């Protein structure tokens, strides 16, 4: 029973080490050193090259190394086996820290003060003095990540709303759902946080039309996927003043190409897709548990609904 890891090279040794600690009986190989492909029963993957998983004739499950599984579904040859994803306290905590950091940064007008510093300007007039309970924050996606973010934003006192596919009831959070409630959700959202999965329904969701439904001068934080944002529409919304600033962790092409206009845009903050990072120390345990379940014929943890795409 062999697990194949297909992922960027720099952390492979760490994964190997953690598997040795948590599941010493499991044989673990790292792509491209597959050995006999017939040995491989499970694959733990992050952005595997298209066609590689289809070469494994006895594959029983693909375990996404991240919370998202969209990087697997882009491969048209992905084998028809169960797909699971990561749900992990550390991963969630990282995203929540990122969301809180950037919401607070916008709430406290930090981009204005950063620009003033570049110009050696001392101007202590806050652009607008607002209390947290007067600041309307909206989170798209109320899943594992979105639910934690809204709870902690609400605990800080923000006026918080969330938008999801199906109806939710979360204490202290104004919940909106479905396409019909997207416009009212956006209309009340001054700081918009995107934590949606990438699916056929959510691709390009932040476009000229939807960005125009936000109040003028709104802020955007995208820690979900680059394909949620239409790049040219974002740049247009920043130029017109419809958006004041955007913080982007994810991009249509990663790494972000050196000549992309986002890099030097004064109203865009870029982070290199590290809002949160899967931590092998905790995640090997759920991978090992899912392998145990596959072997025992038990239902898997954190199964992805292939039809829904998340």
Residues ≥6 apart with Cβ < 8 Å to 160: 136, 137, 138, 139, 150, 153, 154, 172, 173, 174
Active site residues: 225, 273
94 touching ligand OXD, by CB under 6 A: no
Q: How far is CA 137 from CA 132, 153, 194, 196, in A?
A: 10, 8, 11, 15
Q: Which residue is nearest to ligand NDP (CB)?
A: 143
Question: Using CB under 6 A, which of 43, 250, 283, 284 touches ligand NDP?
Answer: 250
Residue 196 is a binding residue for ligand NDP (CB under 6 A): yes
SS (H, E, C) the chain: CEEEEECCHHHHHHHHHHHHHHCCCCEEEECCCCCCHHHEEEEEECCCCCCCHHHCCCCCEEEECCCCCHHHHCCCCCCCCCEECCCCHHHHHHHHHHHHHHHHHHHCCHHHHHHHHHCCCCCCCCCCCCCHHHCEEEEECCCHHHHHHHHHHHHCCCEEEEEECCCCCCCCCEEEECHHHHHHHHHCCCEEEECCCCCCCCCCCECHHHHCCCCCCEEEEECCCHHHECHHHHHHHHHHCCEEEEEECCCCCCCCCCCCCCCCCCCEEECCCCCCCCCHHHHHHHHHHHHHHHHHCCCCCCECCCCCCC
Regarding 45 and contact with ligand NDP (CB under 6 A), the answer is: no
In the shown chain, the binding pattern of residues 262 to 281 toward ligand OXD, with x for contact by CB under 6 A and - for none, equals ----------------x---
- Interface size with ligand OXD, residues (CB under 6 A): 4
Q: How far is the CB of 37 from ligand OXD (least distance, A)?
A: 26
Residue 276: CB minimum distance to ligand OXD, A: 6
143 binds, among ligand NDP, ligand OXD, none (CB under 5 to 8 A by kind): ligand NDP
**Residue 283 is a binding residue for ligand OXD (CB under 6 A):** no
If one asks whether residue 62 binds ligand NDP (CB under 6 A), the answer comes out as: no
Question: Does 223 interact with ligand NDP (rule: CB under 6 A)?
Answer: yes
Q: Minimum CB separation from ligand NDP for residue 216, in Å?
A: 24
Nearer to ligand NDP, 130 or 306 (CB): 306
Binding mask 33-72 for ligand OXD (x = CB under 6 A): ---------------------------------xxx----
Q: Of these, 102, 105, 107, 225, which contacts ligand NDP (CB under 6 A)?
A: 225
Do the beta carbons of residue 73 and residue 127 sit within 8 Å? no
Select the residue interacting with ligand NDP from 275, 284, 287, 294 (CB under 6 A): 275
Q: Is 198 in the site for ligand NDP (CB under 6 A)?
A: yes
Q: Using CB under 6 A, which residues numbered 107 to 146 contact ligand NDP?
A: 141-146
Q: Which residues bind ligand OXD (CB under 6 A)?
A: 66-68, 278
Binding site for ligand NDP (CB under 6 A): 66-68, 91, 95, 141-146, 163-166, 195-199, 201-202, 223-225, 249-250, 273, 275-276, 310
């Amino acid at each position: 029973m062999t697990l194949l890891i297909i992922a960027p090279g720099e952390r492979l040794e760490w994964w190997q080490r953690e598997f040795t600690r948590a599941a010493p009986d499991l044989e673990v190989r790292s792509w491209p050193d597959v050995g006999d492909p017939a040995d491989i029963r499970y694959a733990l993957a992050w952005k595997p090259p298209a066609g590689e998983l289809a070469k494994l004739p006895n594959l029983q499950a693909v375990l996404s190394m991240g919370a998202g599984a969209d990087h697997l579904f882009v491969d048209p040859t992905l084998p028809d086996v169960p797909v699971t994803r990561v749900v992990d306290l550390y991963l969630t905590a990282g995203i929540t820290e990122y969301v809180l950091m950037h919401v607070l940064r916008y709430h406290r007008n930090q981009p204005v003060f950063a620009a003033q510093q570049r110009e050696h300007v001392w101007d202590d007039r806050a652009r607008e003095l607002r209390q947290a309970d007067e600041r309307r924050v909206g989170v798209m996606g109320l899943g594992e990540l979105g639910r934690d973010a809204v709870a902690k934003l609400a605990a800080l006192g923000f006026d918080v709303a969330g938008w999801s596919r199906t109806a939710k009831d979360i204490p202290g959070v104004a919940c909106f759902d479905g396409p019909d409630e997207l416009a009212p959700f956006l209309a009340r959202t001054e700081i918009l946080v995107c934590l949606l999965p990438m699916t056929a329904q959510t691709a390009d969701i932040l476009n000229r039309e939807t960005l125009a439904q936000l109040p003028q001068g709104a802020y955007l934080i995208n820690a979900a996927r680059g394909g949620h944002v239409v790049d040219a529409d974002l740049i247009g919304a920043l130029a017109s003043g419809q958006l004041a600033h955007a913080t982007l962790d994810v991009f249509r092409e990663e790494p972000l190409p050196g000549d992309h206009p986002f890099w030097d845009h004064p109203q865009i903050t870029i982070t290199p897709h590290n809002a949160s990072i899967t931590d092998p120390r905790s995640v090997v345990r759920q991978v090992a548990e899912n392998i145990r379940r596959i072997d025992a014929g038990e239902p898997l943890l954190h199964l992805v609904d292939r039809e829904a795409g998340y």
